[in-house]
C-alpha cells in the first residue's frame, strides 16, 4: 500500500486457531453463483476512541486479532479460498488447515476523523486510504489446467491517535450476503467487547433447494463470462475528479409523511394500497431526485430500472433460517419510464413500481434469483439507466459494538463506482441513512431536490 495519508504499521495474516477447523469444501448454490461476477464489497466502520497510539497497539489491536481468530473458527469461509477450476468442474469454497486472511494495521497521518464522519459532501477518495485491497487471484500450485484460487476477504484497521479508529473490510459477495457479513461482524464485535450470546452461523448448503434447476443454468452463464470479470481486487482507478460522496438521513417524520403521501395518492387514484414501507418510499424519493438531478433528463419513454435486492430468508418458498451463512438474496427490477419518473407524480409512480416488485418477490422468489443472474450477464445493455440498491436498514449496522460504543459512521465505499445507493439504519434518533456518490454540481442539485420534495410533502400532509 503506497499512500501518504496512512502509514502501515503491520501486515500479517489471521486464521482460525490451529486445529480448530478441518479441511472443508463448500459448494456454491444458485444463490451464490451470480455473485462471482460482482466486484469486491467494501464496508468501513468508524469509531470514536480517545486513547494514545500505545494503547491501540498494546491492547486494542491484540484483542481484535485474537477475537477475529476465534470468530473465523465459525466463519472460516472468509479465510478460505474460492476455487475456480475450468469447465466442467464447478467453483467452490475450500478451507485447508492454515488458510488465513490478510490483516493490516495502519496509522492515519493527515486525516481528521471528524471530517470523515461528517454528513457533508466529501471527495470520494477520502475513504480510499483505509480500504484494503484483496490479494490477486493466483494459480493453483502443481495444476496446469488453469484453476484459480481467489481470496475472499482482507481487513484493515487504521488508528487515529487520541481520536478513534477505522475498521474496513473488503470481501467477495460470492461467500456471503449482507446479512451473513453483518452476522460475522457482530459476532467478532461480541467476542471483542461486552456483548455475548450471538447464534452460530449455519453453513449447511443442503438446506438450499433448487427445484427449478437454476444452478446448472447459472454455471453455464458463468463459464461464458471472461475470467477477468472475477479477478478484481477492489483497487479503485480513474475516479472522476469532481465526484463527491454524501450520507443523507431521511428522518422518521420524513418517512411517515412520504408513506401518507403515497397512501393518499393510491386512494385518490382508486388503487389498492401497495407495499408502502420505509424502503419503498425512501428509494422512491432517492430514485426520483437522482434522475431529475441529471443534466440530460428528458421527458420521454426511455426505461429506468431500480434493481432491488431482497433477503429471502424466512420466505415461505425457501424457509431458510436467519443465521444461514452464504447468499440468500433475490433481485427484482422495478421499471418505469423517464416521463413518469420526472413527472409531477414521480415519487408516487416510483412507489407503485417498487412496491409492486417487492410484493412479487415475496411470492416469486425463484424468479428473483433468475433476475439476479440476468442483471449481471446483461449489465452492458441494462446499466445505462440502472440504479442498484445495496444494504438494508434491517441489518442493524450501527449495533456493531466492539466495546467502544456504536460506530460514529459506517459506509459502503463502492457506491462511487457501481451506480448504486447504500441503505442502512441510522446512527441517530431513527430514520434511514442513504449513501450516494455524484458529481459535485449534481450533488448540489440532488440535495436541493430532496429538500424541496420533503418540504412539499410535509405541507401536503398538514
The verdict on whether 460 is a catalytic residue reads no
CA end-to-end span of the chain: 55
* Buried residues in 29-65 as b, exposed as e (16+ CB within 10 A): bbbbbbbbbbbbbbbbbbbbbebeeeebeeebbeebb
In angstroms, the Cα distances linking 449 to 265, 423, 444 are: 20, 19, 9
Give one DSSP letter per residue of 190-228, joined into a string: HHHSS---PPPPB--GGG---TT-HHHHHHHHHHTS-GG
C-beta of residue 82 within 8 angstroms of C-beta of residue 149: yes
Residue 321: how many other CB atoms lie within 10 Å: 14
Which residues have CB under 8 Å from 419's CB, separation 6+? Answer: 383, 386, 387, 388
Per annotation, catalytic residue among 55, 123, 275, 401? 401
Active site residue 401: yes
C-alpha dihedral sign at 391, 392, 398, 402: negative
* DSSP H or E run through 260: helix 252-268
Active-site choice (74, 99, 128, 173): 173
Active site positions, annotated: 173, 401
Amino acid at each position: 500500500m503506497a499512500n501518504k495519508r496512512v502509514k502501515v504499521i503491520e501486515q500479517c495474516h489471521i486464521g482460525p486457531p490451529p486445529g480448530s477447523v478441518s479441511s472443508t469444501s463448500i459448494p456454491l448454490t444458485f444463490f451464490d453463483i451470480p455473485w462471482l461476477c460482482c466486484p469486491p464489497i467494501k464496508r468501513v466502520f468508524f469509531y470514536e476512541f480517545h486513547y494514545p497510539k500505545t494503547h491501540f497497539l498494546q491492547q486494542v489491536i491484540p484483542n481484535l486479532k485474537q477475537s477475529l481468530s476465534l470468530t473465523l473458527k465459525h466463519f472460516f469461509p472468509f479465510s478460505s479460498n474460492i476455487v475456480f477450476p475450468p469447465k466442467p468442474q464447478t467453483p467452490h469454497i475450500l478451507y485447508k488447515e492454515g488458510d488465513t486472511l490478510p490483516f493490516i494495521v495502519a496509522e492515519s497521518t493527515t486525516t481528521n476523523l471528524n471530517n470523515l464522519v461528517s454528513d457533508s459532501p466529501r471527495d470520494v477518495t477520502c475513504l480510499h486510504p483505509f480500504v484494503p485491497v484483496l490479494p490477486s487471484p493466483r494459480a493453483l500450485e502443481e495444476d496446469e489446467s488453469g484453476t484459480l484460487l481467489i481470496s475472499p476477504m482482507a481487513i484493515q484497521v487504521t488508528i487515529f491517535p487520541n481520536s478513534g479508529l477505522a475498521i474496513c473490510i473488503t470481501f467477495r459477495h460470492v461467500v456471503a450476503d449482507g446479512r451473513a457479513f453483518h452476522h460475522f461482524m457482530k459476532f467478532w464485535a461480541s467476542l471483542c467487547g461486552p456483548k455475548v450470546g450471538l447464534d452460530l452461523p449455519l453453513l449447511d448448503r443442503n438446506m438450499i433447494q433448487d427445484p427449478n434447476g437454476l444452478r446448472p443454468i447459472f454455471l453455464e452463464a458463468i463459464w461464458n463470462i471472461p475470467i477477468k470479470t472475477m479477478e478484481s481486487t477492489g483497487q479503485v482507478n480513474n475516479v472522476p475528479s469532481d465526484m463527491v460522496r454524501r450520507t443523507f438521513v431521511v428522518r422518521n417524520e420524513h418517512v411517515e409523511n412520504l408513506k401518507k403521501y403515497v397512501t393518499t395518492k393510491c386512494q385518490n387514484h382508486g388503487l389498492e394500497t401497495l407495499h408502502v414501507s420505509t424502503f419503498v418510499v425512501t428509494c422512491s424519493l432517492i430514485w426520483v431526485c437522482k434522475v431529475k438531478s441529471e443534466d440530460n433528463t428528458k421527458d420521454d419513454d426511455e426505461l429506468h430500472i431500480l434493481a432491488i435486492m431482497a433477503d429471502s430468508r424466512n420466505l415461505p418458498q425457501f424457509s431458510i433460517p436467519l443465521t444461514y451463512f452464504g447468499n440468500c438474496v433475490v433481485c427484482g427490477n422495478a421499471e418505469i419510464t423517464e416521463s413518469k419518473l420526472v413527472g409531477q407524480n414521480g415519487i408516487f409512480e416510483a412507489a407503485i413500481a417498487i412496491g409492486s416488485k417487492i410484493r412479487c418477490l415475496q411470492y416469486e422468489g425463484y424468479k428473483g434469483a433468475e433476475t439476479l443472474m440476468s442483471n449481471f450477464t446483461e449489465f452492458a445493455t441494462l446499466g445505462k439507466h440502472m440504479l442498484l440498491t445495496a444494504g438494508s436498514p434491517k441489518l442493524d449496522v450501527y449495533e456493531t459494538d466492539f466495546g467502544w460504543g456504536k460506530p460514529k459512521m459506517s459506509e459502503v465505499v463502492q457506491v462511487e463506482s457501481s451506480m448504486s445507493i447504500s441503505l442502512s439504519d441510522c446512527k441517530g434518533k431513527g430514520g434511514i441513512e442513504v449513501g450516494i456518490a455524484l458529481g459535485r454540481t449534481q450533488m448540489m442539485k440532488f440535495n436541493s431536490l430532496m429538500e424541496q420534495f420533503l418540504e412539499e410533502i410535509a405541507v401536503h400532509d398538514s
